[in-house]
Amino acid sequence: MEKMGCPGFLTAGVACGLKKNNQKDLGLVYSEASASVAGVFTRNRVQAAPVLLDRQRITAGVCRALIVNSGNANCCTGDQGMQAAMRMAKSAAAGLGVSEDEVLVASTGVIGEPLPIDKIESAVPGLINIMQPDGVLNLAQAIMTTDTVPKVISRRGQLDGKTFTVTGVAKGAGMIRPDMATMLCFVMTDIQATPNALKQMLVAAVNRSLNRITVDGDTSTNDTALLMANGVSGIRIGNSAQQEVFQAVLDDVLIALAKWLIKDGEGATKLVEIIVTGAATEKEAHQIADTVANSNLTKTALFGEDANWGRILAAAGRAGVPIEPQKIDIRFGSVLMIQNGMGCGQAAEAEASKILKQPEYDITIDLKMGSCSATVFTCDFSIDYVKINADYRT
């Protein structure tokens, strides 16, 4: 993978001994200039210590650094866990020469085990020593858990004759269900904007991307998405037209990362876009798409490459949305499988089976009840998903 970065940010990743086989498990993001910051976090009522700490610190709207570990979630670890999160931040702050309050923390991994903070503190000086403008791939590797590949996306845009950059790093292959963002996602940009403007744009982008994906219907205790903006490009987002230009690039980065997360879902072999059209409201369209995308029976049929449209129709029918089954059309790719609530026969199923063998395709459910639509990205449920999660801690 090509190394990428964002002007004014230094990044790094090292192995500190939290994971087996000397795999990278400690990462750092450092902004050379003071950065505005916004974040969204898990809605799970069980929240890890780093999430609780970040919620407090992010209200100031300023951030100079983020330190993150994998291999241990630092969740359900009581006061000891909060002290460990604060020590992570303190060690990074001391090494970087910045205020401790300007350092955010993130963790991912096994829940319920004490965080070996001594290992992290011992590794921080070396981590800081290897920070690079193009060290983002090392950062991406350091936050992986069951991911099979590091995930980095970088895009550039133009405003007022100047170039700006948006670079995003994400991890997540399981416990992916949109209740905020999902997993860990860190976005760096060299534009300047107020924390409130950043929050508005981040929430909008997350709702179009990270909130429209699902691997297994589970929401993590550690979900964190952060957007840091250091302004070194000299571009300031000051009006709605400028915000619209930046929003488009931010959306592009997060949508690309969201799709990548699903393609790399635990045991996944298919990336499937569930599209609901003809709904009375966008909310109802989203509710049906989400129910279908999270249906275990639908997801196992996708793995088996079985054009079992009955499972899709049944999921739509239990989504809690008023529908008229006799009106519904369902397409697998371009193949019409159900017309007006009735199957189109064996010939259609044979054509649909060809679609189901592809690694990426869409399923469209037309309700014929309105003009609103919504999309959710999902993957299949494979035997490997069960194997990965059956022995996750061993």
The residue type at 184: L
Exposed, middle or buried, 130 (CB in 10 Å: 0-12/13-18/19+)? middle
Do residue 339 and residue 304 come from a single domain?
Answer: yes
Higher pLDDT, 372 or 20: 372
Q: Which of 263, 296, 318 is the last residue of a domain?
A: 263
pLDDT band for 181, please (50, 70, 90 cuts): very low
Do residue 275 and residue 259 come from a single domain?
Answer: no
Q: Which of 244, 263, 282 is the last residue of a domain?
A: 263
Range of the domain at 366: 271-390
Do residue 332 and residue 209 come from a single domain?
Answer: no
The pTM score is 0.85
Do residue 59 and residue 130 come from a single domain?
Answer: yes
Of 338, 369, 371, 370, give the one whose Cα is nearest residue 352.
338
Spell out the alpha helix ranges (H) of 272-308. 282-293, 296-303
Which residues participate in catalysis according to the annotation? 182
The whole-number pLDDT of residue 388 equals 62
Token duo for residue 57: 């610190």
Do residue 162 and residue 295 come from a single domain?
Answer: no
Do residue 180 and residue 254 come from a single domain?
Answer: yes
Alpha carbon distances (Å) from 147 to 5, 167, 379: 21, 19, 14
CATH number at residue 156: 3.60.70.12
How many independent structural domains does the chain possess? 2
Pairing of strands 271-279, 360-366: parallel
The whole-number pLDDT of residue 391 equals 65
Separate counts of helices (H) and strands (E) for the chain: 11, 15
Q: Would 1 be classed as within a structural domain? A: no
pLDDT digit string, tens, across residues 190-211: 999 999 999 999 999 998 988 8
Count of CB atoms within 10 A of residue 321's CB?
A: 20
Do residue 200 and residue 288 come from a single domain?
Answer: no
Least confident window among 25-39, 138-152, 225-239, 324-338: 138-152
Do residue 377 and residue 239 come from a single domain?
Answer: no
Asked if 393 and 110 touch (Cβ cutoff 8 Å), the reply is yes
pLDDT digit string, tens, across residues 141-175: 999 987 888 999 999 999 989 999 999 999 875 54
Do residue 325 and residue 183 come from a single domain?
Answer: no
Q: Would 4 be classed as within a structural domain? A: no
DSSP classification of residue 336:
E
Count of CB atoms within 10 A of residue 181's CB?
A: 31
Q: Which of 263, 291, 318 is the last residue of a domain?
A: 263
Of 183, 208, 184, 205, give the one whose Cα is nearest residue 250.
205
Do residue 350 and residue 255 come from a single domain?
Answer: no
Percent of the chain with pLDDT over 90: 78
Do residue 111 and residue 48 come from a single domain?
Answer: yes
Q: Would 348 be classed as within a structural domain? A: yes
